């Protein structure tokens, strides 16, 4: 009985921490999308809609498509690469 209670408590604690971190990541990507300067306003609106409507999955897509690409481009310019 004690083991079952411990497992249930562990599951709920893990789930709670996952939800809090997912929400924080979503807010981080939403703020980044709002502050980022895109080539045109239409692109910004599309990304905002993706992040807002698809929520965590949209934030993941935005991170891998926009944010990581931007990191690679800035890192390459710092090192003298194109």
Predicted confidence (pLDDT) per residue in 50-80, tens digit: 999 999 999 999 999 998 888 777 765 555 4
Angle between helices 2-35 and 41-62 (to 10 degrees): 160
Structure tokens at 63: 């991170």
Residue 82 has pLDDT above 50, yes or no: no
Residue 29 has pLDDT above 60, yes or no: yes
The predicted pLDDT at position 77 comes to 55
∠ CA 21-10-24, nearest 5°, is 5
Q: Is 47 in contact with 33 (CB distance < 8 Å)?
A: yes
The predicted pLDDT at position 12 comes to 96
The predicted pLDDT at position 2 comes to 86
The predicted pLDDT at position 3 comes to 86
């Amino acid at each position: 009985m004690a083991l079952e209670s411990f497992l249930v408590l562990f599951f709920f604690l893990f789930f709670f921490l996952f939800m809090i971190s997912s929400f924080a990541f979503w807010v981080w990507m939403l703020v980044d999308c709002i502050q980022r300067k895109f080539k045109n306003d239409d692109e910004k609106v599309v990304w905002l809609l993706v992040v807002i409507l698809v929520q965590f999955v949209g934030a993941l897509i935005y991170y891998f498509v926009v944010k990581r690409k931007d990191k690679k481009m800035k890192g390459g310019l710092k090192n003298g690469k194109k």
